[in-house]
Structure 1
Amino acid sequence: MYDLGDIVEMKKPHACQTNRWEIIRMGMDIKIRCENCRHIVMMPRKEFDKKMKRVLVKKGD
């Protein structure tokens, strides 16, 4: 599972060709920030669950 501050990989890369996103807000919606260009995307949790591939780095690691 994922948590606030984790770095995740999405199924499709961002336009800047990076596929590392940091989770910066959790609730009914999830807000993620691209690690490369710092672009922020907000999406419903259900959509996020569908588009997320895996957790790359847990916050505590």
Structure 2
Amino acid sequence: MPMQLNVGDVVKLKKKHPCGGYDWEILRVGADFRIKCTTCERQVWLPRSEVERRITKIVSQVQTPSDLPKNDE
């Protein structure tokens, strides 16, 4: 089962980027992910399996419409 990751989430990866940053923002999800280093703004494309394997923790998550509480009046 794939991890629940959304555009806008920030994740921490196992290895640091050459600039020294560990945190990456997810810009695109699907079979391939586009992620951006939050330190130097560099963007890279990686397969979903590679990103999921490298994640150590989810730093922050964006709420999706399905996560928001329903306002039934």
The two structures have a TM-score, normalised by structure 2, of 0.76
Tell me, yes or no, if structure 1 residue 15 matches structure 2 residue 18: yes
Tell me, yes or no, if structure 1 residue 27 matches structure 2 residue 67: no
Q: Match for residue 68 of structure 2? A: none
Runs of 4+ in 1 over 6 A off after TM superposition: none
Q: Which has the higher contact order (CA 8 A, sep 6+)?
A: 1
* Secondary structure of the structure 2 residue equivalent to 1:15: coil
Aligned partner of 1:46 among 32, 44, 49: 49
Q: Does the 8 Å CA contact 2:5/2:29 hold for their aligned counterparts?
A: no
C-alpha distance in structure 2 between counterparts of 1:22 and 1:46, whole Å: 17
Tell me, yes or no, if structure 1 residue 59 matches structure 2 residue 62: yes
Amino acid in structure 2 at the alignment position of 1:9: K
Listed as ranges, the gaps of 5+ residues in structure 2 are 64-73
Count of residue correspondences: 60
| Larger proportion of strand | 1
C-alpha distance in structure 2 between counterparts of 1:15 and 1:26, whole Å: 23
Bigger Cα Rg: 2
Q: Aligned-pair RMSD on alpha carbons?
A: 1.0
> What percentage of residue pairs aligned between the two structures are identical?
33
